[in-house]
């Protein structure tokens, strides 16, 4: 009786950050996925800022004949998903790209929890939320963020709008100002970022009354990561 083929390696591919807390939380996310799925082989890769690059990781696995599923630890499908990761797997036989983590109702649930932890009232129609994402010039990424805002809006009495750290419009400070101009008594920025880093640091100066913590750590995100992996295997 022949042994079953080994499961593909889960390549957890993050953006990359110089922030040490951000690096630790991203590493712990991959470890949490391994705890939820004993025996699963995981490795890390990045599209920017820090090594190893996703190109090098999938090429290395391919040369040893190991199949790989690259799961973008990204919250929407922008340039890094559709170009960087797509090109990396296209050049490596046996490698497949999964879809990014977002949008997903579980991420919206984590966002809501972060808002409540920050003291925001989901039942107050005068509390506006600005969902703050990193931003991308790719309209597919913007659409993913807007879908997440729509998911959050289902459980929020006040208006939920979007703002971006770069590339897309409106910038977060403009979105905060627009929420105030529309009549909000309190404006809360919901950090739609996995971990601390450059974009989260900028949110403090956006003019909101409160800025929430990023999404990690949270076990639900590891479950989303595994779902993306399983869907790509299937």
- For the segment 24-67, what is each residue's pLDDT rounded down to a tens digit? 999 999 999 999 999 999 999 999 889 999 999 999 999 999 99
Q: Which pair of structure tokens corresponds to residue 80? A: 């890094």
Cα–Cα distance between 53 and 194 in angstroms, integer? 19
CB 110, CB 221: distance < 8 Å: yes
Q: What local confidence, expressed as pLDDT, does residue 181 receive? A: 98
What pLDDT does 155 receive? 94
Q: How many CA atoms lie within 13 A of 189 on its CB side?
A: 31
Mean pLDDT over each residue of the chain, to the nearest integer = 95
The pair of three-digit structure tokens given for residue 175, joined into one six-digit string:
């979105």
CA angle (62 as vertex; 30, 71 as ends), nearest 5? 30
Which strand ranges, in their side-by-side order, compose the sheet holding 160-164?
160-164, 127-133, 186-191, 210-211
Q: CA–CA separation, 49 vs 9, rounded Å?
A: 23
The two domains 9-102+217-233 and 105-211 share their CATH topology (first three levels equal): yes
Give the number of other Cβ atoms within 10 Å of residue 18's Cβ. 10
Listing from the earlier edge strand, what are the strands of the sheet with 9-14? 42-46, 9-14, 68-72, 95-97
- Per-residue pLDDT band for 3 (boundaries 50, 70, 90) equals low
What's the pLDDT score for residue 127? 98
Q: What is the pLDDT of residue 79?
A: 87
Average pLDDT over residues 170-191: 98
What is the residue extent of each domain of the chain?
A: 9-102+217-233, 105-211
The answer to whether residue 16 scores a pLDDT higher than 70 is: yes
Which among 211, 172, 226 is positioned nearest to 40, based on CA atoms? 226
Nearest to 80 by CA among 141, 19, 28: 141
Identify the pLDDT of residue 178.
98
Name the pTM for this structure: 0.94
Query: How large is the C-alpha radius of gyration of the chain?
Result: 18
Tell me: domain 105-211, CATH 3.40.50.1400, correct?
yes
What are the tens digits of pLDDT across the range 128-163? 999 999 999 999 999 999 999 999 999 999 999 999
**CATH no., domain 9-102+217-233:** 3.40.50.1400
Instruction: Read off the pLDDT band of 4 (50, 70, 90).
Output: low
């Amino acid at each position: 009786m022949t042994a079953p083929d080994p499961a593909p390696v889960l390549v957890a591919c993050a953006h990359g950050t110089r922030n040490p807390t951000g690096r630790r939380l991203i590493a712990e996310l991959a470890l949490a996925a391994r705890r939820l799925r004993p025996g699963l082989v995981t490795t890390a890769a990045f599209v920017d800022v820090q090594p190893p690059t996703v190109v090098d990781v999938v090429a290395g696995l391919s040369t040893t004949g190991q199949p790989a599923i690259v799961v973008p630890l990204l919250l929407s499908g922008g340039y890094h998903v559709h170009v960087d990761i797509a090109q990396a797997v296209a050049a490596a036989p046996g490698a497949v790209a999964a879809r990014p983590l977002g949008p997903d109702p579980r991420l919206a649930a984590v966002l809501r929890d972060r808002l409540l932890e920050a003291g925001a009232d989901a039942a107050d129609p005068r509390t506006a939320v600005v969902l703050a994402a990193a931003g991308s010039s790719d309209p597919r990424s913007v659409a993913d963020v807007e879908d997440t805002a729509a998911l959050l809006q289902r459980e929020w009495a006040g208006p939920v709008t979007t703002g971006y750290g770069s590339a897309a419009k409106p910038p977060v400070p403009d979105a905060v100002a627009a929420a105030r101009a529309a009549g909000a008594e309190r404006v809360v920025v919901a950090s739609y970022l996995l971990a601390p880093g450059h974009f989260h640091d900028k949110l403090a100066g956006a003019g909101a009354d409160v800025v929430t913590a990023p999404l990690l750590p949270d076990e639900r995100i590891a479950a989303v990561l595994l779902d993306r992996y399983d869907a790509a295997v299937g």
